[in-house]
Structure 1
Amino acid sequence: MTAMPLLLLVLLLLNHADAVFRFASYYGDHMVLQQKPARAVVWGYGEVGAVVTVTLSEGIDTISNTTVDVNGDVGIWKVVLDPMDYGGPYHLIAQQNITGAITSIHLQDVLFGDVWICGGQSNMGMTVSEIFNASQEMAKAAKYPFVRLFTAALQTSKTELLDLPKVALNWSIPTPQNLGHGNYTYFSAVCWIFGRHLAHKLKYPIGLVESVWAGTLVEAWSSKTALSKCGLYEMPKEWPQRCFDITCGYSVLWNAMIHPLLNMTIKGAIWYQGEQNTGMSPNLYNCTFPALIQDWRRSFHEGSLGETDPNFPFGFVQLSTFLKNSPEDKYPVIRWHQTADYGYVPNPKMPNTFMAVAMDLGDEMSPYESIHPRDKATVAYRLYLGARAVAYGERRVLFQGPFPETIDVSYTDSYMNITYNQELLVTHISDNIFEVFCSTGKDMTGNSQYTWVTAPAQASSSNVVKVSFIGCSHVAAVRYAWSDWPCEYKACPIYSVRNRLPAPAFIKYV
């Protein structure tokens, strides 16, 4: 008479354990975990009071074995694996024991390598099927089976979520189908090409985690903590009428699409966003973007129990182009603010960062509108160069375009010499790409008046450009490429001799 109730109790425990014992949403077959020197974090859900043992094995050999308790109100278990060299495949088993009831869950084909987060808006979201040479790029999938892909689904939340509420693409080996899904969903062309370049160079697995939503603001991807650093606490009342959808709110994408990933140990992140901020709080971007980077670094470091580098490398794409002959300067303002107003990175406010300049990649005939240029291969390659230099410490890799070191002004001859920090490849310099802030006399109160006027320029040596300002009694500043669409495709006037990288836009006071 006592055996039946005991059997029923065991069955109930088994069924209940099966219902709750699982890995977090972004763990799965074919995934990449972060290699040493960092240690990968693995976590999931279980029955409160249970014991979970996580075993990593290769064939019949056990590599590591870790046991933890399931804690917290919702029942969370979290283990930190031993440091692992790159490679695989491995088999990961998590086994829960609660009052003698054993439940096991398995992950197959797990690799160790470097894990990169890819974030931003639609230009990061453009898939391989939507770019130049799409069919050739998709055909490369078979050559990179150790590049693995994962995409978070589009979700928002008013509060920080523990786990992703939905996944768009579970960890997958690249195929023409998942690379070319289309419609800005998965998989990101910039992320993929960046990752395959790294895999080709480094000769080990690369995991790519895409968390992207088109038409979104930096404020939506930022935590409340990050926003408070810039004095932002309440969303402006007019914003809902100016946004595409519900993604307008402060922190709503951070809460649902970044915060759930924080327990993951990562190598670094790349980012392509800013178009939406050209029309909404553009003058705060020199604070909000650096604050996002700092906060993501702190948060991933803490979430991974200290395993993710607190200063992990962060790369981004400087905005490309949108409208030819636009009278507004929204795009150059954001380009400048993307560098915290230094014009280049890394800089004191943005350490361990790298940037891909894209203002020479305009695509007026893009079927996805000119705001979505199709040359994502060049963007990704420029990011890759930055990653090699900044993330992987290759000192001889040139990843920055030329930038002014000194500006010497001669009022006697009405010109200035702009000396760049590297040898220049100079083509025809149009008369309107350099401008000077020229004195036009005095106003009624006797104060000097200034206006921006175009200034002819020419190369005068291997690293010097001479800019004339005849007719100006005084100049207060000079700027370069300060327009939405400063030059035609790959035809800006100034590039580096090595690697042919474009000189970024700048504004300098003299």
Structure 2
Amino acid sequence: MVLQQEPAGAVVWGRGEPGAAVTVLLSEDGGLVVMKKTTWVKEPSGMWIIVLDPMGQGGPYALRAEQGSENVTLRDIYFGDVWLCSGQSNMAMTVLQITNASRELAAAARYPYVRVFAAAPARSEAELEDLERIDLPWSLPTAENLGHGNFTHFSAVCWLLGRYLYEALRYPLGLVEAAWGGTPIEAWSSPRALRTCGFPEDTGSSAVPPNISSHQHLSGPQTPSVLWNAMIHPLLNMTLRGVAWYQGEANAFLHTDRYNCTFPALIADWRRAFHAGSAGQTEPLLPFGFVQLSTYRRQSPDDSFARLRWHQTADLGVVPNAKMPGTFMAVAMDLGDERSPYGSIHPRDKQNVAHRLQLGARAVAYGEKNLIFQGPFPTGAILEVTRALLNVTYTQELVWRQRDAPGFEVCCSSGSAPCRWLPAPVVTAESRTVTLALGGCGRLVLGLRYAWAEWPCEYESCALYNSWGLPAPPFLLDTLPAAETPERSRRAGGKELLLLPGSSCAQGI
């Protein structure tokens, strides 16, 4: 296995005879003992826990636990960084299921210092101290371990994230998967986190916020808190370096517009719980990365995927932000895969997903300076009333990759008619500015949005990227100032500054 390296101390725990002393010894491969710790088994739980002294990267080591004449020894242990990967089916997809699977599986053996562990899907009505089952005990990466079956183990996104981080960091990585397909965020949330967002005390199928109708009867693994209880709570003693999360498809059809609360609440709650469970060794602002939703149905008029993507950022468009500090995001809306044999909701290109995720991890979790880890985001716009143009300014140099790709829409009104969303074609994209045509718009521009669709563009062919190939994320602004009066227009030369969300957020530049 891999245990968390310095500056944190790795946590080791287990069961024993209540009241008995347990001694843990860490030794080098040659048998030299480098650390010895003793504790007592708690009553009546029968659990013991020890925090090891911080260890530098490397190994191998042996870890021996002794109670009286009984002992257990674990071997081939390294110290490095430990990441937890969780979510639903796009996190559970194995390396066997992705693009270039055979090549990826064949390459696995070249990374013996990336170790993998997978918890089996399980649910519980009460918080558990131990995992009920394990799909994959701590193992070396092999073709069999990484491609055991469809949605079984091991996670392709998790593996590729760990592999890419290993290639950048060059020290051991431990990867822990706890994922279950088709599950909403409520199932992964503790009752404490759900109460933060207005869910009642009861965590059964009726646990929906006031005035929010449930779209379906929540049962089995969809029941609030049952996956937190069975798959996350048993891991809380672990010292972690970071979390990777790929979930949200289920919530595009359930409590969609509560995700801007439930997701930040889950992040904050997991951070508190892992910090406390590891006796303070997991840092309070545990780095938390996530994948923004990809695509589903090409021609769907439904905007629930677009709304969920927006809510994944707490309605600010980019992360980290004030509501979601210490987070990072991989945009995936341009990686649609209509021909995926696992359904279009399961695109096979997980390499790009993991690449974008590891850029965020290196910038946010590891503090790598001057690393571009996300695409361009708008900071403001100037409305030219007389020419019916809108000039949108971005944070980075733009690459107008697909000139005929639909992308921008404006919400227009002629005054008395209700606001309606109309396409705003790109006229030019130069340097950091995009100019949009407002020919079909009235004098009142009330909103602006980009890539607001379930399937925004073809594969790697959205309208805007940066020079590093990272797509501009979707955004929504539905509170633009009213059209200027003729007098204001004359004073401002027919132009008005419109501020967009996220202008104060870190852009990784």
Matched, 1:458 2:432: no
Whole-Å separation in 2 of the counterparts to 1:145 and 1:427: 39
Question: CA shift at 1:428, angstroms?
Answer: 3.2
Aligned to 1:45: 15
Contact in 2 for aligned 1:126/1:189 (Cα 8 Å): yes
Aligned to 2:361: 387
1:175 alignment partner, one of 142, 145, 148: 142
Matched, 1:205 2:179: no
Contact in 2 for aligned 1:440/1:451 (Cα 8 Å): no
For residues 271-350 of structure 1, what are the structure 2 equivalents within 5 Å? 271-350=245-324
Whole-Å separation in 2 of the counterparts to 1:32 and 1:239: 42
Whole-Å separation in 2 of the counterparts to 1:313 and 1:343: 18
Question: CA shift at 1:291, angstroms?
Answer: 0.5
Q: Deviations over 1:181-210 (max 9, x none)?
A: 122010000000000111111111000000
2:66 alignment partner, one of 80, 89, 95: 95
Question: CA shift at 1:412, angstroms?
Answer: 1.7
Question: CA shift at 1:60, angstroms?
Answer: 2.1
Which residue identity lines up with residue 89 of structure 1 in the other structure?
Answer: P
Aligned to 1:4: none
2:85 alignment partner, one of 110, 118, 122: 118
Aligned to 1:191: 158
Which residue identity lines up with residue 354 of structure 2 in the other structure?
Answer: A
Q: Deviations over 1:393-428 (max 9, x none)?
A: 111111110000111112121111100000011123
Aligned Cα RMSD in Å?
1.3
Gaps of 5+ in 2: 207-212, 481-509
Matched, 1:154 2:121: yes
Task: Label 1:353 to 1:64 Cα distance change in 2 as closer, same or farther (>3 A).
Answer: same
Whole-Å separation in 1 of the counterparts to 2:158 and 2:118: 11
Task: Label 1:431 to 1:110 Cα distance change in 2 as closer, same or farther (>3 A).
Answer: closer
Q: Secondary structure at the match of 1:449?
A: coil
Task: Label 1:239 to 1:449 Cα distance change in 2 as closer, same or farther (>3 A).
Answer: closer
Matched, 1:416 2:383: no
Which residue identity lines up with residue 372 of structure 1 in the other structure?
Answer: H
Question: CA shift at 1:431, angstroms?
Answer: 6.5
Aligned to 1:84: 55
Contact in 2 for aligned 1:239/1:248 (Cα 8 Å): no
Contact in 2 for aligned 1:316/1:355 (Cα 8 Å): yes
Whole-Å separation in 2 of the counterparts to 1:431 and 1:114: 41
Contact in 2 for aligned 1:431/1:455 (Cα 8 Å): no
Deviates more, 1:105-114 or 1:226-235: 226-235
Whole-Å separation in 1 of the counterparts to 2:429 and 2:18: 73
1:491 alignment partner, one of 452, 457, 461: 461
Question: CA shift at 1:211, angstroms?
Answer: 0.1
Whole-Å separation in 1 of the counterparts to 2:353 and 2:19: 50
Whole-Å separation in 2 of the counterparts to 1:176 and 1:339: 35
Aligned to 1:405: 379
For residues 223-238 of structure 1, what are the structure 2 equivalents within 5 Å? 223-233=190-200, 234=202, 237=206
Matched, 1:216 2:183: yes
Aligned to 1:17: none
Whole-Å separation in 2 of the counterparts to 1:265 and 1:468: 53
Aligned to 1:57: 27
Contact in 1 for aligned 2:178/2:231 (Cα 8 Å): yes
Whole-Å separation in 2 of the counterparts to 1:472 and 1:402: 28
Aligned to 2:506: none
Whole-Å separation in 1 of the counterparts to 2:463 and 2:23: 61
Whole-Å separation in 2 of the counterparts to 1:240 and 1:33: 42
Q: Deviations over 1:206-247 (max 9, x none)?
A: 00000000000000000011111100124554859555x501
How many pairs align?
469
Aligned to 1:6: none
1:351 alignment partner, one of 312, 316, 325: 325
For residues 466-477 of structure 1, what are the structure 2 equivalents within 5 Å? 466-470=435-439, 471-477=441-447
1:362 alignment partner, one of 330, 333, 336: 336
Which residue identity lines up with residue 44 of structure 1 in the other structure?
Answer: G
Aligned to 1:449: 418
Whole-Å separation in 1 of the counterparts to 2:428 and 2:395: 14
Whole-Å separation in 2 of the counterparts to 1:488 and 1:460: 19
Contact in 2 for aligned 1:240/1:248 (Cα 8 Å): no
Question: CA shift at 1:272, angstroms?
Answer: 0.3
Aligned to 2:500: none
Aligned to 2:38: 67
Question: CA shift at 1:74, angstroms?
Answer: 2.1
Contact in 1 for aligned 2:406/2:463 (Cα 8 Å): no
Contact in 2 for aligned 1:431/1:454 (Cα 8 Å): no
Q: Secondary structure at the match of 2:163?
A: helix
Whole-Å separation in 2 of the counterparts to 1:319 and 1:159: 30
Question: CA shift at 1:72, angstroms?
Answer: 2.3
Whole-Å separation in 2 of the counterparts to 1:337 and 1:277: 11
